[in-house]
Amino acid sequence: MSKTTREDLIAAPAPPLPKSRPPSSGVLRLTIGTVLATHVVIIANIAVHWAVLGKVDPQIASYQLLSGALVLIAVLVHLRQLRRERWRHALSALISDLSASPIGIEATAERALQVLTSGGFAQAGLIALADDGAEEMRPIASLGYPDHWAEDATPRALPGDHDKIDSSHGLAGHPWVEPVAESLGGWPWVARVPLVSGTVSIGQLLLTARRAGPLDDHLLLERFGAQLSTALDHAAMYEASYRREQELEDLDRRRREFIGSLAHDVRMPLASIQASSELLQLQKAVMGETAEQLVSSLKHGVQRLNLLVSDLLDLGQSEGTEFTVQPKPTGLRALLDEVETLLRPAYLLREQRLSIDVSNDAATVLADPGRLEQVMLNLLSNANRYTPESGSVSVRTSAAPGNRVRIEVNDSGPGIPADQHDRIFTPYFRVDRNDQPPVPGSGLGLAVARQLVELQAGRLWAQETEEGGSRFCVELPAAARVVG
């Protein structure tokens, strides 16, 4: 069995119409029976008078006939009322059915017209809506109109006051009324019902019928107009939410395609850098010590970049942004030394000082070493990039309450405005700095870093410093000692 999607629902034509007239009620039969019985009694009364007295007293006869006529009038008024009640009932039932099932705006409008025309309330109908802020109205559904009518009916507002219900004989001379008015004998009843959402006029319902009938019942039209407006509002919201969902899906798909292709593009030059550094390492004998260190740092850097590219690929292919972590007791000294080795060339290049101070009572944490290294690399590479040349960066660890360890990264750079301390952790957010030289970046690093720290039961945040630079704090559960 094929599955019905929301797209199908929105594009679908109006669903088939249930029976629009309510079943005939017993009240009608009872009323007709009462009238007949009253008149039979009156006639029998007069006949008895005739038979007994040989004549009919004209006064008594006229009283009898008068009471008969009064009963008849009362019954006719009652019947009229009854008929209106039945129309109201039928319309309410059908319109609530309309609001209950989610369909698009046009299908809702078509369905409402089907209800009105098949229920005998009108011979033809039209629903026109005003686009946002537009004065003009555009027909979105019509029923009972000749073929090709819409081509002649130029979208323009109907004459008259749009905010009030108006029903009267014939309004020929307007393209939205004329074709039907002629086919109905040129002198039909036309009702115009405003459609309103809250206090804003959203359009109009136009109905045309040969006889006045319900079109002359303003209370009925008002109720129907209000219910139809609500149903159209629901349909519009439904369509808007569907469109938004589509846009988000589209955006997500494009984001993943972009990340996927970016990751592939980065991987190609990486492969050749890796191969070159490995070749260079084979020349150890002819290399000086510094060159050897640089080549080893280059190789390590390429390995890390390869890992990051794998994360990017995962991010691009997975539905969400899940990373895997395997926390274990991790020594901070070795980890931070490793990070320092990796970043040394970058710090040398900018002539910056990088100091690392690991306190004895805060030297081991429960963390995934690879992921924590990724986080520290990110923080220290940011400090390196955003701090001016000859600046200084320091890393300090300390014991924190609740058996935790805090790692603090301070730099002597421009700092981060306090009101943006939280926003810098949102993906793609970058601080707008006109007063500083531009630093290339994606705005993704801190978002990923925070996610990684939180996955390890930790916290990562930015803090204000008295000196004016930036301070980033990582807090993780402490571990007793490094195993193995």
Tokens of 402: 């609740």
Tokens of 281: 């390492």
The correct pick among 140, 431, 457, 473 for binding ligand ADP (CB under 6 A) is: 431
Contact indicator for 221, 204 with CB cutoff of 8 Å: no
Contact indicator for 439, 386 with CB cutoff of 8 Å: yes
How much of the chain is in helix, strand and coil states, percent to nearest 5? 55, 15, 30
- Using CB atoms, what's the residue nearest to ligand ADP? 441
Minimum separation from the CB atom of position 135 to ligand ADP (A): 47
Show the CA angle centred on residue 204, arms to residues 201 and 209, nearest 5°.
Answer: 155
Minimum separation from the CB atom of position 472 to ligand ADP (A): 7
Minimum separation from the CB atom of position 381 to ligand ADP (A): 8
What is the three-class DSSP state of 307? helix
Q: Rounded distance, CA 253 to CA 344, Å?
A: 38
Contact indicator for 186, 170 with CB cutoff of 8 Å: yes
Is residue 177 part of the contact set for ligand ADP (CB under 6 A)?
A: no
Task: State which of positions 2-61 bind ligand ADP (CB under 6 A).
Answer: none
Minimum separation from the CB atom of position 420 to ligand ADP (A): 8
Residue 12 carries which side chain, given as an amino acid letter? Answer: A
Minimum separation from the CB atom of position 402 to ligand ADP (A): 26
Minimum separation from the CB atom of position 429 to ligand ADP (A): 6
Task: State which of positions 398-417 bind ligand ADP (CB under 6 A).
Answer: 411, 413-414, 416
Minimum separation from the CB atom of position 312 to ligand ADP (A): 13
Is residue 470 part of the contact set for ligand ADP (CB under 6 A)?
A: yes
* Cβ closest to ligand ADP, residue 345 vs residue 443: 443
Show the CA angle centred on residue 292, arms to residues 287 and 295, nearest 5°.
Answer: 120
Minimum separation from the CB atom of position 464 to ligand ADP (A): 12
- How many residues belong to the site for ligand ADP (CB under 6 A)? 18
Is residue 446 part of the contact set for ligand ADP (CB under 6 A)?
A: yes
* Cβ closest to ligand ADP, residue 159 vs residue 417: 417
Residue 50 carries which side chain, given as an amino acid letter? Answer: W
Q: Rounded distance, CA 10 to CA 245, Å?
A: 14
On the 0-12 / 13-18 / 19+ scale of CB atoms within 10 A, 35 is middle
What is the three-class DSSP state of 330? strand
* Cβ closest to ligand ADP, residue 123 vs residue 470: 470
Minimum separation from the CB atom of position 400 to ligand ADP (A): 21
- What's the chain's length in residues? 484
Minimum separation from the CB atom of position 378 to ligand ADP (A): 6
Contact indicator for 234, 99 with CB cutoff of 8 Å: yes
* Cβ closest to ligand ADP, residue 179 vs residue 445: 445
Is residue 424 part of the contact set for ligand ADP (CB under 6 A)?
A: yes
Is residue 423 part of the contact set for ligand ADP (CB under 6 A)?
A: no
* Cβ closest to ligand ADP, residue 170 vs residue 427: 427
The correct pick among 81, 101, 241, 442 for binding ligand ADP (CB under 6 A) is: 442
Contact indicator for 336, 356 with CB cutoff of 8 Å: yes
* Cβ closest to ligand ADP, residue 442 vs residue 463: 442
Q: Which residue, among 348, 350, 405, has the nearest Cα to 376 in the 3D structure?
A: 405
Q: Rounded distance, CA 273 to CA 299, Å?
A: 8
Task: State which of positions 334-393 bind ligand ADP (CB under 6 A).
Answer: 382-383, 386
Stretch of 196-204, 221-229, 263-271, 442-450 lying at the interface with ligand ADP (CB under 6 A): 442-450
* Cβ closest to ligand ADP, residue 277 vs residue 382: 382
Label the pairing between strands 200-209 and 189-197. antiparallel
Contact indicator for 34, 133 with CB cutoff of 8 Å: no
Please give the residue ranges that form the binding site for ligand ADP (CB under 6 A): 382-383, 386, 411, 413-414, 416, 424, 430-431, 441-447, 470
